[in-house]
A and B are shown apart, each in its own frame.
Chain A
Amino acid sequence: MELHNVLDFPILSLSIFLPLAGALVIWLFVRGDNAVRWAALVVSVISFLVTLPLALSFDTGTSHMQFEEFHPWIAAFNINYQLGVDGISMPFILLTSLLTIICIVSAWQCIQTRVKEYMIAFLVLETTLIGVFAALDAVLFYFFWEALLIPMYLIIGIWGGKNRVYATLKFFLYTLAGSVLMLIALLAMYFKAGNTFSMLAFMDYPFDLSWQIWIFIAFFIAFAVKVPMWPVHTWLPDAHTEAPTAGSVILAGILLKMGAYGFLRFSLPMLPDASQYFVPFMVALSLVAIIYISLVAMMQTDMKRLIAYSSIAHMGFVTLGTFMFTQAAVEGAVIGMISHGFVAAALFLCVGVMYDRLHTREIGDYGGVVNVMPVFAAVMLFFCMANVALPGASAFVGEIMVLIGTFEANPVYMDVSTKWIAIAATSSVVLSACYTLWMYKRVVMGDLVKDSVKSMKDMTVREFGFFVPLMALTLWMGFYPMPFLDFLHVSVSHLIDQATTSKLDAAAALVQAMPVLDAAHH
């Protein structure tokens, strides 16, 4: 087996395990809260630098997996330690390592209890997240997918708000229910595809339609919970509200992307016929996310809950684009995910900045913040406008590409023109402005009336510091998204080929060949 790895160096393994090793070192050798903070920062920065070559040495001309690694793991079941990335997964690894730095910096002062455990949890979380995006073996993928629940569970459960027990339980049960079905699906594929867990082999194996449909349903439940899609979304607002700021940042920035990534990596290429078959269903759910959830977002009184609902609405665009099978729509979906990683993360950080001062997330407890925190008001306005997908912000690129791709799409199993779907989704132009600006008006604008707000101080340099990279990236991706799109072109077009090439003929041919094989066997 030939491995594509231009660096001839296990860079993915290093990216995955460096944070874990750092966490281990911190656990064993570092004493004192401040030392732990600095050590964690150093580890996360080095981890980020380690992931940079993934982008810099990335070959945009091939759809093949890159930086591959392969080692037999559990030979008895043909389970291997197989890693590799393409243009779709690579950006998420960089996003993860970048956001981890921001999470660690943002927790500098607001986390005062169990600092060491907190930092370790985030570094372990980084390991598992990068593992999810780098894994090419289904068991390895499943391992990381499940493993990340543990640090996330602890982050919300230990450092979370008043209602954290309820939120963690809900979060855990929801995702676990999905995961169980995914495990069953993976096992089924293992036996069907001839005793292999290689995700690339799953993509090549011709599953027949009924298999595809059942596996799709199992995957759907696992991924839809993570995205999250209506109606399995209600864990997210609770998890966000109770999570500490950095927990929300990772949750919105990376965790939500895993569901959509699952659709792109598993459902579309492995189950092309079922994916086509379920297009109307996925489209309907996406539209519900965009419209229903936006209306719900508008009426929230808790800022974090509002942004959580806004995230679900934005993920509606991602799932819509994913299931349109056109170049523009799928690339738009991926760009939308990355962009949401910047914007939603930043909005949660904004709420965190205010929460650190007043210890409340209620919109009604604020008002006139701009009077005492003008710099903060400008930063928050920037990200609110990005959330509204104003052109020049990254979200615009993602959304308009999804809409363009949807307008021109022509799914097999749908007779309603996707033009009307695109038009319905465009209503987000109005709805997102309603909930975002209304919140901004009530929180930031207005006269200074409340005594508590009067005591608020503007952002410190440290706080301003973690917004700067996010602002720069939002603008870069908004004005000149070409470098990001270049990563995607070939990988996405390969994915679309896979997703639009029916496996049914090959499956039928396999059935035809079966008796012959059986005969030969006997």
Chain B
Amino acid sequence: MQQLTLNTTELLAIPALPLLGALAAGLFGWALKEKLSHIVTSGSVILSAILSVHVFTQVLAGASFHGNFWTWMLAGDFIVPVGMLVDPLTAIMMMTVTIVSSCVHIYTIGYMHGDPGYPRFFAYICAFTFSMLVLVMGNNFFTLFFGWEAVGLFSYLLIGFWFQRESANKAAMKAFIVNRVGDFGFAVGILAVWYYFGTVEYKTVFAMTPDFVAQNITLGFMGWQVSAITFICLALFVGAMGKSGQVPLHVWLPDSMEGPTPISALIHAATMVTAGVFMVARLSPMFEFSETALAAVVIVGAVTAWMCATIGLVQNDIKRVIAYSTCSQLGYMFVACGVSAYSAGIFHLMTHAYFKALLFLAAGSVIHAVMAEQDIRKMGQLRKYMPITYITMLLAALALSGVPPFAGFFSKDLIIEATMVREFTEYSWLGTFASFAVLSGVFMTAFYTFRMFFLTFHNSDRVDPHTQSHLHESPKVITIPLMILAVGAVVSGMWGVMVLDIANPEIMHGYFRDSIFVLDEHNPLMTLAEHGPHGWYHFIFTAPFWLAISGIGLAYVMYFRQSAMPAKIARAAGPLYTFLLNKWYWDEFYDWLIVRRARNLGTFLWQRGDLGVIDKGIIHGGIIDSVKSGALRMRIIQTGMVFHYAFAMVLGVFGLLTYLLLTA
């Protein structure tokens, strides 16, 4: 294959344009006012999207780019360059991010019209686009981390965009901190990568990985040995779990719905939350060498896919239903990566970006129409008032449910079939477990999607009379992005399979070429090609198709017309229903396990440690009083007060720690 190189200026312009747009709107938004703010930001992002598509076509023709621009940090042999790696994996991400972002920008013009923070909002989403592009285009772990943290920052700012709302501020902080728990793992992973490979550039690290694995290097801690490659992959994967809302770090994602709907579509569905999947696919040359890490990816992905689907079944907030669906679908993508079908994972990432962004934006259009009401119990029959929103959302719902020939069917079906054929040598039970999770997930996905859809657009009219008089279809600036995304939701699946050859089991000869690495003995797509069903009509014989159809069917029976059935079932299920409605009590669990304990510990260390013992006990009690009277000091030590003993314990622990470090 011929080796074409991409134009450096063009590549640099792709992230630079949104950055400049963001700076202009952010710093001069007060002067630019609404119109110029959205022109400069949307314009720069659309331009960036056009360039991305151009780059994509060149990459499709065989071009790629790898190069460094400057040195970020340098100390001794520790060197961090800033550079770009553009290959098929990057190109598909760039295109997806910029196209969805462009649609969201246009949509926002209508959706946020009249909001006092209008220029600020555009500055944030534009800067977010820049950060996301840095994340996918970087050529090393540090540029990835930079983009990673930057998208986290803008996610934080956008969730808390309506800063008067206490719930939004809480959700923003929660999102940032939970993400930081993931980043803890990510940072440790980076430290380990640098330590073992002596470089942070992907290409060099990947080239060294097979030899490194052959050396069987292990890390030991308290008698427990773990192979270094597994350690690195698991640590990095913790970062991916945080960013992509995977159990047990998923709790921030549903709460992030406090942000305005356009960002739920852009950040918390289509792009940022998929960064974890991108990371695992990007690092496939490392993950492939750790069966344990892959197994962990599958377990986390499968549990999330299944658990978040169960929660989605009973939620009543339209955005939360979609949010839990996002968690669940991200779980599918991770399962795909874990079973070494990275191409299927990225494929689903792309199709999901279109149909899920569409689903959110359509939901936003609905919320806009019903005066900011988000409870689907207070909607119904909206199809009469908003036909475009109705039809586009129907397409998105069909795509999400995996009904052929819509986009989601192709990618999700590929993941499920790959999961069913992949066998783990060390963890033989895993295949069955994951297959069960993703298959039952298909049924639930179809059910909750159409439950939400029917309750919103069909069923009985439950909109309150005051709102009803205002019901109308959204303006063109909102419906046009819906229609653009609807095209993606319908055709991107077929396009991926037929035009891009994205599902080619021989990765090297398919779309991804050398950007994804799969060991031959793992490749589930190869197994499928050899033993699986053939023919375009084969879906009729597969379980996912029938599960999806029956999920929709059940939703039709229960929710298409008003019936007493759902309430009856909820009553019959009793505790289970409450359990699901309360999201498995994860928030309460964390509050009990971590938040309250950390606060108590902080207060204890402060009041008892710093003030009680160091200040009062030692400085005043110990030193000053001892000068006054030795006898008094003796009495103070024997006060019998708990905190003195407690502090003695802290001191003891500290001494022990020192002793251990000295001698262990």
**Would you give 28 A-B contacts (Cβ < 8 Å), ordered by A?**
A231-B618, A280-B661, A280-B662, A284-B661, A287-B657, A295-B602, A296-B602, A296-B610, A297-B602, A300-B606, A368-B163, A391-B150, A413-B662, A414-B661, A414-B662, A417-B219, A417-B220, A420-B221, A423-B188, A426-B188, A427-B184, A429-B184, A430-B177, A430-B181, A433-B177, A437-B177, A481-B72, A482-B74
Comparing A5-13, A93-101, A178-186, A327-335, the segment that makes contact with chain B is: A327-335
Q: Which residues of A contact B76 (CB under 8 A)?
A: 326-328, 331, 493
Cβ-defined contact, A295 with B191, below 8 A: no
| Contact bitstring B317-353, A, C-beta under 8 A = 1, else 0 | 0000000000000000000000000000000000000
Given known contacts A407-B194, A429-B184, A441-B173, A292 and B605 CB-to-CB distance under 8 angstroms: yes
By the criterion CB–CB under 8 Å, are B173 and A407 in contact?
no
The CA-CA distance from A403 to B74 in the complex, in Å, is 14
Contacts of A231 in B (CB 8 A): 614, 618
Q: For A281, list chain B residues within 8 Å (CB).
A: 658, 661-662
- Contact A280 B658, beta carbon cutoff 8 Å: yes
In addition to A295-B598, A371-B163, 7 A-B residue pairs with Cβ atoms within 8 Å of each other are: A231-B614, A326-B76, A400-B190, A420-B221, A433-B180, A447-B166, A482-B74
Quick one: which of A295, A298, A370 contacts B163, CB cutoff 8 A?
A370
Min CB–CB distance A317 → chain B (angstroms):
13
A-facing mask of B67-100, CB < 8 A → 1, else 0? 0001111111110000000000000000000000
Q: Are A437 and B661 in contact (CB under 8 A)?
A: no
Contact residues of A between 409 and 452, Cβ < 8 Å to B: 413-417, 419-420, 422-423, 426-427, 429-430, 433-434, 437-438, 441, 445-448
Scan residues 140-165 of chain B and give those whose CB is less than 8 A from a CB of chain A.
142, 145-146, 149-150, 153, 156, 160, 163-165
Hey, which chain A residues are within 8 Å of B660, CB to CB?
Answer: 416
Pick the residue among B184, B191, B618, B654 that contacts A404 (CB under 8 A): B191
- Ranked 8 nearest A-B pairs via Cβ: A327-B76, A280-B661, A299-B602, A295-B602, A447-B164, A296-B606, A391-B146, A445-B169
Within 465-482 of A, Cβ neighbours of B (below 8 Å) are at: 479-482
Q: Is A111 an interface residue (CB 8 A)?
A: no
Q: Is the interface of B mostly helix, strand, loop or mixed?
A: helix
CB distance from A212 to the nearest CB of B (A): 17
**Given A390-B149, A413-B662, A416-B661, are A295 and B601 neighbors across the interface (CB < 8 Å)?**
yes
Closest to A414 in B: B661
B615 proximal to A (CB < 8 A): yes
B173: contacting residue among A326, A408, A438, CB under 8 A? A438
- Tell me the smallest distance from the CB of A449 to a CB of chain B, in Å: 10
Complex contact A331–B606 (CB within 8 A): no
B75 & A437 in contact (Cβ 8 Å cutoff)? no
A353 to B180, CA, bound (A): 29
Interface readout for A295-339 with B: 1 if CB under 8 Å, 0 if not?
Answer: 111111000000000000000000000000011100110000000
B192 touches A (CB below 8 Å): yes
Which of A237, A296, A298 neighbours the largest number of chain B CB atoms within 10 Å of its CB? Answer: A296
Residues of A within 8 A of B177 (CB): 430, 433-434, 437
Candidates A298, A327, A403, A429; contact of B602 at CB < 8 Å: A298
Query: Would B75 and A328 count as touching, CB distance under 8 A?
Result: yes
A164 interface residue per 8 A CB criterion: no
Q: How far is the CB of A68 from chain B (nearest CB, A)?
A: 26
B579 within 8 A of A: no
For B611, list chain A residues within 8 Å (CB): 234
Give the CA-CA distance A112 to B183 in the complex, in Å: 47
B542 touches A (CB below 8 Å): no
CA distance A481 to B221 in the complex (A): 35
Q: What 0/1 readout, one digit per residue, does chain B (628-664) give for beta carbons within 8 Å of chain A?
A: 0000000000000000000000000010011011111
Give the shortest distance, in Å, between B376 (CB) and chain A (any CB). 28
**Is B187's CB under 8 angstroms from A429's CB?**
yes
Most buried by B among A283, A298, A433: A433
Produce 1/0 per residue, A390-402, CB < 8 A to B: 1110000100110
Q: Does A385 contact B (CB under 8 A)?
A: yes
A373 within 8 A of B: no
Indicate if A485 sits at the interface (CB-CB under 8 A).
yes
Residues of B within 8 A of A372 (CB): none
Chain B residues in 8 Å Cβ range of A284 = 654, 657-658, 661
Q: Given contacts A288-B654, A414-B662, A434-B177, is CB(A331)–CB(B619) below 8 Å?
A: no
Which chain B residue shows the least CB distance to A305? B606
Question: A119-153, CB under 8 A of B: which get 1 and which 0?
Answer: 00000000000000000000000000000000000
Contact in complex: B184, A296 (CB < 8 Å): no
Q: Is B28 an interface residue (CB 8 A)?
A: no
The answer, yes or no, to whether A489 is at the interface (CB within 8 Å) is yes
How would residues 264 to 289 of chain A score, 1 for a CB under 8 Å from any chain B CB and 0 otherwise?
00000000000000001101100110
Closest to A390 in B: B149
Chain A residue nearest in CB terms to B186: A429
Q: Are A328 and B78 in contact, CB atoms less than 8 angstroms apart?
A: yes
CA A25 – CA B127 in complex, angstroms?
50
Assembled-state Cα–Cα distance A185/B191 (Å): 38
CB-contact partner of A234 in B145, B188, B614, under 8 A: B614
Q: Which residues of A contact B145 (CB under 8 A)?
A: 391
Please, how many angstroms separate the alpha-carbon atoms of A397 and B661 in the complex? 27
Which of A298, A482, A488 has a CB less than 8 Å from the CB of B71? A482
Q: Specify which chain A residues have a CB less than 8 angstroms from the CB of B169 in the assembled complex.
A: 441, 445-446
Q: Is B603 an interface residue when CB atoms closer than 8 A count as contact?
A: yes
- State whether B74 touches A485 (Cβ < 8 A): yes
Give chain A residues whose Cβ lies under 8 Å from the Cβ of B590: none
Closest to B166 in A: A446
Residues of B within 8 A of A445 (CB): 160, 163, 169
| Chain A residues, Cβ within 8 Å of B360 | none
Residues of B within 8 A of A400 (CB): 73, 187, 190
Check if B176 is an interface residue, CB within 8 A of chain A: yes
B599 at the interface (CB under 8 A from A): yes
CB interface residues, B 434-476, toward A, < 8 Å: none
A231 and B164 CA atoms in complex are apart in Å by: 40
Contacts of A390 in B (CB 8 A): 149-150, 153
- The complex places the Cα of A391 from the Cα of B172 at a distance, in Å, of 19
The closest CB in chain A to the CB of B618 belongs to A231
Distance, CA A420 to CA B664, complexed state (A):
13
Check B191 against A298 for contact (C-beta < 8 Å). Answer: no
Say yes or no for B586: interface residue by CB 8 A criterion.
no
Chain A residue at minimal CB-CB distance from B615:
A234
